[in-house]
Structure 1
Amino acid sequence: MRALLILLRNISVVFLMSLFFCTQLVSANDIKYSAPAKTIMISTPDKKLSLVVVYSSGYVIKQLRIKGQNVLSPAGIYTGIKTKDKAFFSNGKSAGVKLTKDNGVIKLSGLKYGNNGITINETWEFRLVDDKIRWNITREYGNSTGLEDMAMPQYNFANMSVWKGGILDNGGMVWCKYLKQVDDTYGVHTGGVTFWNAESGNALRISTKIDKGYHIATKYSHSAKNEFTCTQYVTDSSLSQRYNLSRFVSGKADIFAPFEVKKATVKLEVDLQYIDYFKAYSRGKLPGIDAVAVRELLNTTGRYGVVDNNIIGANGWVSNWKCLHEPFFAQIGMAVDDKNYTKNMSATLDQERDEAVLPNGRVLSRWHNVPGDEMPGTYNAQTGYYEAMWGYTIDSQPDFVINTSEQFDLSGDTTWLRAHQSTCEKALDWLIKRDTNHNGIFEMMNNNVSEQKCSDWLDIVWASYENSFVNAQMYEALTLWANCEKVLGNREKATYYTGVAKRLKNAFNKPIAEGGFWSPEKKQYVYWRDDDGSIHGDNLVTPVNFAAIAFGLCDDQKRIGEILDQIEARAVKENLFHWPLCFDSFRREEVSGGNWPFPKYENGDIFPTWGYLGIRAYASYNKGIALKYINNILKQYKNDGLSSQGYDRVTQAGQGDDILAGISTTITALYRDIYGIRPKWNRMGIEPNMSASLNGAEFSYTLRDTVYQLKLSVHDYIMSTAGFSIKSSNGFGATKNGTLLTFYPDNKDDILLQVNAGSKKNIAMQIHSWTPNAFSWTMTSTDNYQFTVKGLQPGVNYKVEVNSIGQNIKTDGTGKFTIKQRCTKATKFAVKKAA
């Protein structure tokens, strides 16, 4: 009997759907109704997105079609609630459901569900807004009560392969393949998402809007029917996690803790939109580079480190882990190029400033969802921050400052930077004070290998006392932060930190016999020196040597060649696709047992996390080698999605359960160190380092809502926006406000050219050359212009030629001069310091 009833019910659903398509339809533009089937079909004008809404038994969206293909399971999309005892959904039987149509708005009302404990009156409204279908859900709670779960709404997609994943509006992503088992669930405190299919290029964007005072959250799960589900929540207060601080749990769909709802009316506005993924997320034309792999890598591995709002790291959400002792989170955001990631990164640093930095300036090293990895007594169950059990990882000090400095260049928010000023100063000063022997090198909190404690990212290698890797990162932090102090107007502090950095650089580069880190015998920088003066880590540790070059500590070209040639020869000999953490073995007493025998784990295996240091080091020395490893990592992504912690040195196969988003840094370096994307807080900057094989690269880059079109070849760079276009053979920075264009030669602040136009027309110019004493440019646009050059020597005479007609001009007491010129055709300007 039960089987017969199920069969009859299925037949009735098929009949109603058939009736919908066969019945004489009442059509109003892109909205069609079937009164007998109680079904509505709503299509966007371009027919790329349509919904089939059925209201014969409550409300349910039975189909969501992308270019005619339904992507939903038979369950469709519905709303509902779950109490401790029972679940109620919008697609249950309900008498009194009513359809009304008014001025393009379709309204379904009269749905009531619940029981004596909770009653709900729910209304759905649909309308077309340009290429979107706007869906408003209004839910009236009849009384206040506690709930276990909610669907407002729940999208039930046909299977786990409909979408590769979803790009979240906090800059992160959900990767469907990581929801491997039934009820594997990822829950975050944001609502918007763009689901995409990397094969077809079809994408569905869900944008959400809630009333002020309410909070939205979403969970993504693998259902028992192998559906991919997306369930949204709108609540009075931010939802807590049910299982410790876990954003991802395996085998449990109830990821959020129980919550209260009040007797009130709650609203959610949803915009559903078809997106051409290939167009919307295009990486442009990238000759010599697999642009598709770049796009997919940055939209998956690069974004995967976003655990939730206020938690961006480079481990990721599956392991619920974030290491604060990593310096590349803002750099990843630079390459991902998503304002949502940038906004979330600023919020992440705000939270770390408030919760992870101790009053004395010590930056706690990690965040995790559960205790177990912490130094006893340091785990904060409310915040998740703690000191790692392996030792004090001191690189969290400079890395917090590096991320803050580079994030400022992306956000351009001086108010935000000022709110971090005292914290960054305390973090730097905490480590500066550790130079107890006053030799310019900063000491760790462990003294020697006998303590069996770590002091940096390689957390089961017993680097102690004077650690060159941490000191190299400190040099970068000091250099970057000195510039931030200048922006904030504190030149005294800027000079101080620059001086500390200079002293560190001098000490760092001394031979080991003189207290530095350079080994003349092995032609490499050693890893650390114990308090007894013994030298450790002379086994060609790649992050150490790459960091010395990449951060500018080592600018001796002979040393650079000795290091990089040696590393490349060793890598080629073993045919390695990427660099290992070290080429030779540490000594047994220098590492934990988990690193033995060599090569194993942090003693010799491949960890691409530090790839950006290698690319940055090679980019100015041998671009061909840098490009080889960039292409190698893209090939590896296509093979396995970089879904590993590291790679076995012998087999080069992925291993480790803790997937690392930091593996994307080799590709972030493609943008920073090859294409030269160098945003500054007050301008867009490019400092390309192109190879002939990359000539003709064309792509857009968005910085603070301005879209920059870039065309790059060797010594031929064009940057253009809706307001200006600049062509140059050298790197530069530029920004336009109103009618004022500011050009920064070499993307530096020392000298600048301001072009003030008489109208709002596009300003176009070509830079021919620029040195402190001679520079020239051509205006290729026409207008009345005022040119001001700043940053020159005060009171000095210059000869200015306009289309070869000269005049003499003298800089004022601040080192600037101004000329005016009406340009009715291409006009060349040449300026030269008078003899």
Structure 2
Amino acid sequence: MAIRKPLYFFCIVSFFIAWHNGLAQSVQIKNNSKEKTVVFGNGKITLTLDYNKKANISLLQINGQQVVQGDAGVYSNIRTKDATYSSLQLLADPTVKTSNTTVSIGNIRYGDKNLTITETWTFTISNDAVKFDIDRVASKTIVAEQVGFPVFMFSSIDTWEGAYQDYGGLAWFYLFNKKRDTYGVHSSSSRFWNSKTGNGLTIATAAPGKHVAMDYSRTMNDRLAYSIAVSPTEIVPRFDADTHRRRYVRDTTDVWAPIEIAAGKSSQSITLSYFGFEEKFGRGKLMGINGEQVSAVLNTIARIGVIDKQHFGGNSWHTPYGPICLHEQYIAQMGLAINDPAYLKGYQQCLDYYRDNAIKPDGRVWPRWAYSNEDAMPKGFTDKGFYEAQWGYLLDSNPDFVTNVAELYDQTGDLGWVKSQQQACEKALDWILKRDTNGNGLVEMMTDSHTQKRGSDWIDIIWAAYENAFVNAKLYHALVLWADIENQLGNTTKEKLYTAAAEKLKASFNKPTTTGGLWDAEKNCYIHWRDKDGSIHGTNMVTPVNFMVITYGICTDDVRRKTILDDIETHMQKENLFFWPLCLSTYAPGEGNDWQFPFPNYENGDIFLSWGAVAVKAYADYKPELALKYVKNVLAQYAKDGLAFQRYGRAKQDGLGDDILSGNSLSVVGLYQGIYGINPRYNRFYLDPHITESLAGTQVRYTYQNQPLTIDLNLNQYAVSNGNFKIVSKTNFGFFAADKTLAYFHGNTNKASLNVTTAPKSNLTLDIKTWNENELAFTQSSKDVASNKLVYQINNLKPNSNYTIVINTKPHKQAKTSEKGVLQFEYKTTQNADEIAVLNKE
């Protein structure tokens, strides 16, 4: 014992010295009292603090890149109606203290005889971050027109490409095309990034009990000013005067309404940390396609419909009146390819907000939200900004709310959250299902005839009425998705109700128009709508309708499907269009708003990219080379113009409209979902690729429920790995892995076909060779050969049946399945690769 105690003590001291030396190698602090500057930081972040009659960070370097430099830099700022005060002009010299890991500057006093602000800044430096604590005392309560607690004055508007907020939104500085453009958000953090330099900087603010907002502004000298505001009450937008909802403003930096700063003490903490862009947001090795462009589209365009916390949609915050269309079913779907947990968490919070504020008591879902009320029906809006559009009652908002909840749940697997949405989704579905007054399964719109000149779906100035195929296709999709969730939640009554409603809708939908259906046998397409008088409208191959019918599984007739897709492609080649237009030929006179004629114009024939995901999926199942062609076309267009438009004109294929749509990214989302086959499900990662020869060798990095995965795609061989566990298969399959469990799901089944339990922290690879009712065969390999005892459970077999387990061609065991068709056996690996077969003896 006399020997062990000193040795134990020596080990602890040695560890502390090694840790301290490691920290010292990274953390550097140098105080130049003559120049009144302190240079400090770690291996990735270096700051220069200037305390010569002011207090500011005059130089900030990120991984060697100078991002802040100048007389302003990083500083505190308050502007009232009468004066501006900042830490750039102090009433007295500040005091500075340093230690091995901290820099403290006190007595930061600024103001005048009317107001004095006193601050203490404390910087704590670690190997991976710099924590910036601010303690503040105000001599009296004031109303501030603008605050910067603090302001970061970055060297150029081009220093960063963008900044992601804590809820997954994006400030994209490419869109700050005028001086004094300003964008404000309710976020506690910003992740600034630049894909070209590869550098990223997270600035996170903590102010317990306080509300945090921030804004980004292009200065008159083309710098980027980033300001943080902290207030005991919610910080609201200044404009418009009657709504206070506008987040993006031009020709002013006053995006926020005045806030009250109380007399006395307050504090906040800001943490600066570095991240490598490729390490954080890299998407892997994408063969046969421009991976940088894929990443760029998903990093920018896909996110710009996120206007603020709790406000997700498809229209950009940059749009003049900032609308959100709740009648868009693909907002959650974009999260599949954005693949950022912050976006998924943020959209959960948004859908909670919509649940509580955007659904009427009877179940009607308000279809839109905007900065102002200019697009609303008279008195058809709420104080929160939700409204009925002036163009008509757009009924697809009801099924689309449900679809977004369901598809977001598939990505998160958060059963508690989806249960909290159950009542709202049921109300939304029940409300629209009641609109089937003639009992044929197809719900009816608010208008009976196109002559009433009111829209009823996303194509809002085409006068679709009565039995609208566009809305009914979306409803079918929502019913199928939600019936499955009702099953998971144990409500079999509702499951049966929605399943039956979907089947009835599908049957009527597929009938010829001559017998009450929506299939036009003469035009070889599904029509847009039928008026109550039986007249048929929209026989001009409306592409979103026909793509949704195929992708959502309404059309199961292979001949029809082939006819539709071939006819569309023939027309595309004839006009040499780079992307699918909303319709191939013109609507008939009177079927839409007068100014959309003559064809092509706007929703009567122009190119809207927002329907790219359903189109890519429709072709990926049929001819993936065609799906890939149009994905590449969109990427090429991005390289030309950034896709920063509402649509593209049919005649010149040029970008039109300043109402920028995040849906412009959806063909790239379709690449992920329809071609790469990435389809996260609530209980498994489902892979269903449709790749071409040129894409073979692709390796996608993907995060599924906070677990990093590597997805390998080769012709007729696909693999998913989390680093410890891996499954390889020639066909589509599901993957799930926990600490010591690996699950294989054959095909698209939602119940594991095979569970393998290992020792903790083991590794295991399963290569599936054969999987049918009579024979299961796979190769399993593990590096932990000596210690890896494996317990197998095979499900979905024939109940009460005899099977023989064969390992490395030798009989291992005979076993009988349970009444539920479950077979279990154990095996301890004896070599690096074992061939296992399970054969049905009967």
Q: Same fold (TM over 0.5)?
A: yes
1:324 aligns with 2:330: no
Q: Conserved in 1, the CA contact under 8 Å of 2:52 and 2:93?
A: no
Q: Distance in 2 between matches of 1:117 and 1:612?
A: 60
Aligned to 2:30: 32
AA in 1 matched with 2:807: V
- Within the candidate set 344, 347, 353, 2:346 is matched to 344
By how many angstroms is 1:543 displaced?
A: 0.4
1:832 aligns with 2:839: yes
By how many angstroms is 1:671 displaced?
A: 0.6
Aligned to 1:572: 573
Aligned to 2:16: none
Aligned to 1:443: 444
Q: Distance in 2 between matches of 1:135 and 1:592?
A: 57
Aligned to 1:149: 146
Q: Distance in 2 between matches of 1:591 and 1:35?
A: 74
Q: Conserved in 1, the CA contact under 8 Å of 2:368 and 2:387?
A: yes
Aligned to 2:828: 822
Deviations 1:467-503 (A, max 9, x none): 1111111111011111111111222322221121111
**After the TM superposition, which residues 278-317 of structure 1 pair with which residues of structure 2 at under 5 Å, given as runs?**
278-317=278-317
- Within the candidate set 40, 48, 59, 1:42 is matched to 40
Aligned to 1:746: 747
Aligned to 1:23: none
Matched residue of 2:421: which SS?
A: helix
By how many angstroms is 1:521 displaced?
A: 1.1
AA in 1 matched with 2:570: A
**After the TM superposition, which residues 30-179 of structure 1 pair with which residues of structure 2 at under 5 Å, given as runs?**
30-45=28-43, 48-72=44-68, 74=70, 75-179=72-176
Aligned to 2:547: 546
Q: Distance in 2 between matches of 1:698 and 1:264?
A: 56
Aligned to 2:220: 224
Q: Conserved in 1, the CA contact under 8 Å of 2:79 and 2:144?
A: yes
Q: Conserved in 1, the CA contact under 8 Å of 2:207 and 2:269?
A: no
Q: Distance in 2 between matches of 1:805 and 1:159?
A: 70
Q: Conserved in 2, the CA contact under 8 Å of 1:609 and 1:663?
A: yes
Q: Distance in 1 between matches of 2:602 and 2:372?
A: 24
Matched residue of 2:379: which SS?
A: coil
Q: Distance in 1 between matches of 2:702 and 2:165?
A: 19
AA in 2 matched with 1:311: H
AA in 2 matched with 1:162: T
Aligned to 2:520: 519
Aligned to 1:471: 472
Q: Distance in 2 between matches of 1:128 and 1:750?
A: 49
By how many angstroms is 1:361 displaced?
A: 0.9
Deviations 1:768-811 (A, max 9, x none): 12224432222201311111122333223333322233343222
**After the TM superposition, which residues 663-702 of structure 1 pair with which residues of structure 2 at under 5 Å, given as runs?**
663-702=664-703
Higher mean alpha-carbon deviation, 107-116 vs 800-809, is at 800-809
By how many angstroms is 1:73 displaced?
A: 5.2
Aligned to 1:391: 392
By how many angstroms is 1:360 displaced?
A: 1.0
Aligned to 2:412: 411
AA in 2 matched with 1:821: Y
Q: Structure 2 unaligned runs (5+)?
A: 1-24
Aligned to 1:186: 183
AA in 2 matched with 1:766: D
AA in 2 matched with 1:282: G
Deviations 1:159-181 (A, max 9, x none): 22222222222211111122222
AA in 2 matched with 1:386: Y
Q: Conserved in 1, the CA contact under 8 Å of 2:790 and 2:826?
A: yes
AA in 2 matched with 1:189: H
Q: Distance in 1 between matches of 2:419 and 2:63?
A: 49
Q: Distance in 2 between matches of 1:690 and 1:289?
A: 12
Aligned in 2, Cα 1:598/1:29: closer, same or farther, shift over 3 Å? Answer: closer
By how many angstroms is 1:746 displaced?
A: 1.5
Matched residue of 1:571: which SS?
A: helix
AA in 1 matched with 2:836: F
Matched residue of 1:274: which SS?
A: strand
AA in 1 matched with 2:189: G
Matched residue of 1:315: which SS?
A: coil
Deviations 1:585-641 (A, max 9, x none): 001100002211100000000001111111010001000100000000111111111
AA in 2 matched with 1:388: A
Matched residue of 1:428: which SS?
A: helix
Matched residue of 1:387: which SS?
A: strand
Matched residue of 1:585: which SS?
A: coil
Higher mean alpha-carbon deviation, 743-752 vs 365-374, is at 743-752
Q: Conserved in 2, the CA contact under 8 Å of 1:73 and 1:159?
A: no
By how many angstroms is 1:391 displaced?
A: 0.5
Q: Conserved in 2, the CA contact under 8 Å of 1:210 and 1:267?
A: no
Aligned in 2, Cα 1:596/1:444: closer, same or farther, shift over 3 Å? Answer: same
Matched residue of 1:678: which SS?
A: strand
Deviations 1:632-673 (A, max 9, x none): 011111111101000000100000110001111111111111
Aligned in 2, Cα 1:87/1:499: closer, same or farther, shift over 3 Å? Answer: same
Matched residue of 2:256: which SS?
A: coil
Q: Conserved in 1, the CA contact under 8 Å of 2:49 and 2:59?
A: yes
Q: Distance in 2 between matches of 1:801 and 1:488?
A: 39
By how many angstroms is 1:750 displaced?
A: 4.3
Aligned to 2:791: 786
Q: Distance in 2 between matches of 1:793 and 1:185?
A: 65
- Within the candidate set 222, 225, 229, 1:233 is matched to 229
**TM-score, length-normalised on structure 1?**
0.94
AA in 2 matched with 1:109: G
Q: Distance in 2 between matches of 1:773 and 1:325?
A: 47
By how many angstroms is 1:236 displaced?
A: 1.1
Q: Distance in 1 between matches of 2:533 and 2:412?
A: 45
Q: Conserved in 1, the CA contact under 8 Å of 2:188 and 2:206?
A: no
Q: Distance in 1 between matches of 2:721 and 2:350?
A: 32
Higher mean alpha-carbon deviation, 364-373 vs 114-123, is at 114-123
Aligned to 1:766: 767
Q: Conserved in 2, the CA contact under 8 Å of 1:206 and 1:270?
A: no
Q: Conserved in 2, the CA contact under 8 Å of 1:380 and 1:386?
A: yes
Q: Conserved in 2, the CA contact under 8 Å of 1:283 and 1:292?
A: no
Q: Distance in 1 between matches of 2:264 and 2:359?
A: 40
Quote the sequence identity (%): 38
Matched residue of 1:547: which SS?
A: helix
Q: Distance in 2 between matches of 1:372 and 1:627?
A: 40
Aligned to 2:202: 206
**TM-score, length-normalised on structure 2?**
0.93
By how many angstroms is 1:699 displaced?
A: 2.2
1:267 aligns with 2:264: no
Higher mean alpha-carbon deviation, 601-610 vs 134-143, is at 134-143
Aligned to 2:22: none
Q: Distance in 2 between matches of 1:629 and 1:84?
A: 54
By how many angstroms is 1:67 displaced?
A: 4.6
1:809 aligns with 2:815: yes
**After the TM superposition, which residues 716-755 of structure 1 pair with which residues of structure 2 at under 5 Å, given as runs?**
716-755=717-756
Q: Distance in 1 between matches of 2:250 and 2:841?
A: 73
- RMSD (Å), alpha carbons: 1.7
Q: Conserved in 1, the CA contact under 8 Å of 2:29 and 2:100?
A: no
Q: Conserved in 2, the CA contact under 8 Å of 1:482 and 1:498?
A: yes
**After the TM superposition, which residues 454-533 of structure 1 pair with which residues of structure 2 at under 5 Å, given as runs?**
454-533=455-534
Q: Distance in 2 between matches of 1:424 and 1:71?
A: 47
AA in 2 matched with 1:147: A
Q: Distance in 1 between matches of 2:59 and 2:761?
A: 49
AA in 1 matched with 2:134: I
Matched residue of 1:71: which SS?
A: strand
Matched residue of 1:410: which SS?
A: helix
By how many angstroms is 1:134 displaced?
A: 2.4
By how many angstroms is 1:113 displaced?
A: 1.9
Aligned to 2:804: 799
By how many angstroms is 1:765 displaced?
A: 1.5
Number of residue equivalences? 806
Q: Distance in 2 between matches of 1:436 and 1:493?
A: 20
